[in-house]
Structure 1
Amino acid sequence: MRVGHGVDHLRIVAGEAMGGYADRPHGLSGVLDPLEVHAVTFRDGQHRFALIVADLVCVNSDVVERIRAGARSLAIDSCWVAATHTHAGPEAGCNPGGAPTPPELSERLESAAMRATSAALADERDATLHASRVRVPDLASRRNLPELRAIDIPVDVLVVSSEGQVAGMIVISPVHPTVLPYDNHSASADLSGGIRRALRTPTRWVVAGTGPAGDISTRHTRRGCDEHEIDRLAALVADRLRGGVRPADAPGSTTLIPPVPARVRLTAKQPGEAVASDDGGLTGGRGLSVLEQGRRIARDLMARDHSTPYEIEVQALALGAVTLVAVPGELFLELGEQIRAGAAAPGIDVVVLGYANGYLGYLPSRATPTSYETLVSPVARGSGELVVAAAIDAAAQLMHRRRDDRI
């Protein structure tokens, strides 16, 4: 397999609307750290795949299709586009159910993605790929609970090795990258940028993606809301990865099986799911304010024609002994773990990438308690389980193709 990496900056415009929070009183007016667009290309001799990850709150399907069209002109056979989900960047049409990408932002993103992809193609070299997983304590917790309930966060990393050294890493953290406060008005990659800074070296590139982070954030674990706290939390991830990431011991599978799609039809949220009869144990402050925002967004959603089901596409592809799954929305951590368990196979690692190839919104499970996340979701409870089933089905089709390749 040949793998290459490229990166470009996403230009911001002073005063443009910021994404991520519904009650933002201002637009962008500064830069804490540059927003980046990364591209990683993989080629096995028959197929070339590109993974593009941008420091945005989301990528909608319209801009994904335009980037894919541009990538085809660069000899890319298949392409995924994902967002880190930073809340410290331009508004990208991150509305429940999806929305058009602002045209001027779309042009900037497309241009940066093509430059990054061209750089990745020029950087391609013989490499091997394997996955590793670490568990990080004190990083984050379930954000829809009124108080901290400690959990160790599973962080996945795709390790690219070349000539006996780690040449690059794709780190996928199931944590909302939202350390900075809602009244911040400076551009930043937030926690994703901190992870990149903590791990990259002059000879090793790092891409930071976001996994099934729908209910996970640093709300109860952070000690501040500034760049110093970003770096402190990122160091927790980096310290665990430094001890657990090594170059590949021996060449592994170099098979690249193109993305397998699985479409799933989701019922629109019902009126009874658009209300919160109590405050969920919240006693004041920002938590109650956010819950009230959820109630307002849910009322607005119900006021529109909201009876048509939503249809989304989950995809899975094989990169050597890794099955990578892309979900176009905000899956909860336990559902991501269900995909990992349900798609498991001997010798195969399963990694789930969220906010990829479109944006539907939160994908609640049947058991999800009423919260901001369920209120603003455009789909009914239980949609998360349907997405899990579709992802497992796509992964199963990949396994059949893996077996066919060995015959």
Structure 2
Amino acid sequence: MLSTFRMIAFLSFLLTGYAVSSADSNTDIKVGVAEVDITPPVGFPMAGYYHERLAEGTIDPLKAKAVVFREGETAAALVVCDLIGIATDLSKEIRRIAAEKTGIPAQNIVVAATHSHTAPDYMKELYLYLGKESQETLRKQYIEKLIHGPVAAVEQANENAQPAVLATGSATQETPVAFNRRFVMRDGSVKTWQSLKNPEVLRAAGPIDTEIGLLAIRDPESGTNRGVISNFALHLDTVGGMKWSADYPYFIERSLRDAFGPDVVSIFGTGCCGDINHANPASPVRNKVDFIGNSLGTSITDQLPKLPPLQNTTLTVGSQVVQLPLQDASPAEVARSIKILEIAHNGGKVDFFEHVTAYKKMILDQIRHKKPHANTIEHITWGLSRSLAGTGETLPVDVTVITMGNEVGIVCLPGEVFVELGLAIKQASPFKTTIIVELSNTVETIYIPHRAAYAGGSYEVTNSNVQPGSGEMLVEAALKLLREAATKNKAD
């Protein structure tokens, strides 16, 4: 007997006319989904800000959620973690181990973050762990969990991969929950986090993206949803406090499970939202996390039964390493940064933008120089990296594209990418549905603005490690890979 949840979903599926059997649709592709808990313990450092905060409890669990696609000899995996970002050190370790255990090539495995600010600040602990240096037992044990949790999710998804019907399309988020947070001022400058009541504000400096990209993974016999990949461009910083939380994607998960049963795996990939957040500049009241997540969840659950199945599920995976030009960190800049960080650490007042600049200069110092001007670990926690230390003038990042047939493409980009760059990829993509997942494999870029944004300045530009034009390089690489996949799939 089907559960009540499954029966409702199945009847809805039949009524829309999209129930299919394996004879009606291409089920050569096999898909597996899985999730693993990666919630840190109480007392582990929390991410999101420029001072140490130790967690006091849990609101809702943090998870690593994986999907594995297999068709013939081709395989790909995407594992999305409830983390603020994916350090290159972490992605390399997860991909290496997962590849050994599953046989999926490491370059075909993507590790992405949702960007929750109520998630762990783990980079110093990971740095110490990989260097086999001493640290607190609680912190060392969590790093082991943080590495092996996502690996286990990929393993489980790979093991339970089975024939599936894929349905794709998009929903439109009509209830306003996302707003461009950069504003053009009357003096020609650009400022972040403004109110429209400020008479110096002229207009928003950019657009938003109201599309929710969707990919449903359905059982070919019953038509029930085993997993749902959803994608929306909205910054995750809506909870606050000192307890672990996955932020609004948790409420998307609840909405999907209420509608389609408790076993459906909800995999949310954050879209290009480097300049997008939840603060409505026309209102002093901010939308709360449950309102945002439930509103997005409703948009998704209303649209899912209407999605048509893919007739062609030919799987292709392509990746390209892009060398993004880094900003510099001179000896004088590093020396000044150390002084600013020492003042802030001792409770003194420092200008916010100077604090941000000082922190990023310390990150750049260790990445650019084989002999850094400072002993970085004495001054920062976030941004420490073993695999990137001494890299030089450019930062190597992966752009990965996973496509199915001629209908859907999943684009995975590093860093916090401006919405304009994501929209440019979608506009030029040869695939009807293009899902863009930022914060994939590498977070050390920090923000990735479009070229024009550097002229305007403000927070996101200040907090970027890469030079102008880097965002456009990612767009070019993504479109090249999408076009190659479309050509190959058309030929097949």
Note whether the superposition's TM-score is higher than 0.5: yes
Shift of 1:186: 0.3
Distance in 1, Cα, partners of 2:74 & 2:123: 32
SS state at 1:4 partner = strand
- Kept in 2, the 8 Å contact 1:20–1:57? The answer is yes
Distance in 2, Cα, partners of 1:397 & 1:101: 41
Q: Which amino acid aligns with 2:436?
A: V
Q: Which amino acid aligns with 2:94?
A: I
Q: Could you tell me which of 461, 464, 487 is aligned with 1:374?
A: 461
Distance in 1, Cα, partners of 2:98 & 2:468: 36
Aligned twin of 2:212: 155
Aligned twin of 1:75: 103
Aligned twin of 1:8: 36
Q: Could you tell me which of 271, 276, 282 is aligned with 1:211?
A: 271
Distance in 1, Cα, partners of 2:273 & 2:352: 20
Stretches (4+) displaced over 3 A: 99-106, 148-152, 221-225, 247-251, 299-307
Q: Could you tell me which of 364, 388, 391 is aligned with 2:475?
A: 388
Which range is displaced more, 298-307 or 318-327?
298-307
- Kept in 2, the 8 Å contact 1:18–1:91? The answer is yes
SS state at 1:257 partner = strand
- Kept in 2, the 8 Å contact 1:35–1:187? The answer is yes
Residue 43 of structure 1 pairs with residue 70 of structure 2: yes
Aligned twin of 2:303: 244
Distance in 2, Cα, partners of 1:299 & 1:19: 18
Distance in 2, Cα, partners of 1:382 & 1:269: 15
Shift of 1:380: 2.0
Aligned twin of 2:312: 253
Aligned twin of 1:280: none
Check 1:87–1:300 CA distance in 2 against 1; reply closer, same or farther (3 A cut). closer
Aligned twin of 2:133: none
Q: Which amino acid aligns with 1:60?
A: A
- Kept in 2, the 8 Å contact 1:155–1:172? The answer is yes
- Kept in 1, the 8 Å contact 2:35–2:265? The answer is no
Check 1:336–1:270 CA distance in 2 against 1; reply closer, same or farther (3 A cut). farther
Which range is displaced more, 322-331 or 254-263?
254-263
Distance in 1, Cα, partners of 2:309 & 2:118: 41
Aligned twin of 2:383: none
Aligned twin of 2:168: 131
Aligned twin of 2:436: 352
Check 1:362–1:326 CA distance in 2 against 1; reply closer, same or farther (3 A cut). same
Distance in 2, Cα, partners of 1:83 & 1:102: 21
Check 1:101–1:316 CA distance in 2 against 1; reply closer, same or farther (3 A cut). farther
Q: Which amino acid aligns with 1:142?
A: N
Larger proportion of helix: 2
Query: CA-to-partner distance for each residue in 1:34-54, whole Å, 9 max, x for gaps?
Result: 111111111112222111111
SS state at 1:352 partner = strand
Query: CA-to-partner distance for each residue in 1:51-81, whole Å, 9 max, x for gaps?
Result: 1111111111222121112212223333111
- Kept in 2, the 8 Å contact 1:211–1:353? The answer is yes
Aligned twin of 1:308: 393
- Kept in 1, the 8 Å contact 2:420–2:450? The answer is no
SS state at 2:481 partner = helix
Residue 338 of structure 1 pairs with residue 366 of structure 2: no
Which range is displaced more, 395-404 or 78-87?
395-404
- Kept in 1, the 8 Å contact 2:272–2:437? The answer is yes
- Kept in 2, the 8 Å contact 1:10–1:112? The answer is yes
Q: Could you tell me which of 31, 39, 63 is aligned with 2:58?
A: 31
- Kept in 2, the 8 Å contact 1:262–1:391? The answer is no
Larger Rg: 2
- Kept in 2, the 8 Å contact 1:56–1:92? The answer is no
Check 1:251–1:175 CA distance in 2 against 1; reply closer, same or farther (3 A cut). closer
SS state at 2:409 partner = strand
Residue 192 of structure 1 pairs with residue 276 of structure 2: no
Shift of 1:133: 1.8
Aligned twin of 2:122: 92
Q: Which amino acid aligns with 1:193?
A: Y
Q: Could you tell me which of 225, 228, 233 is aligned with 1:174?
A: 233
Aligned twin of 1:235: 294
Q: Which amino acid aligns with 1:324?
A: I
Q: Which amino acid aligns with 1:264?
A: Q
Distance in 2, Cα, partners of 1:167 & 1:211: 22
- Kept in 2, the 8 Å contact 1:51–1:81? The answer is yes
SS state at 1:367 partner = helix
Shift of 1:19: 1.1
Check 1:240–1:247 CA distance in 2 against 1; reply closer, same or farther (3 A cut). closer
Distance in 2, Cα, partners of 1:3 & 1:252: 15
Q: Which amino acid aligns with 1:235?
A: N
Structure 2 alignment gaps of length 5 or more: 1-28, 131-139, 184-193, 197-203, 334-349, 369-391
Distance in 1, Cα, partners of 2:398 & 2:152: 27
Distance in 1, Cα, partners of 2:160 & 2:290: 29
Check 1:14–1:324 CA distance in 2 against 1; reply closer, same or farther (3 A cut). same
SS state at 1:373 partner = helix
Shift of 1:292: 4.2
Shift of 1:309: 2.9
Shift of 1:300: 4.4
Which range is displaced more, 68-77 or 321-330?
68-77
Q: Which amino acid aligns with 1:354?
A: E
Aligned twin of 2:180: 142
Aligned twin of 1:399: 486
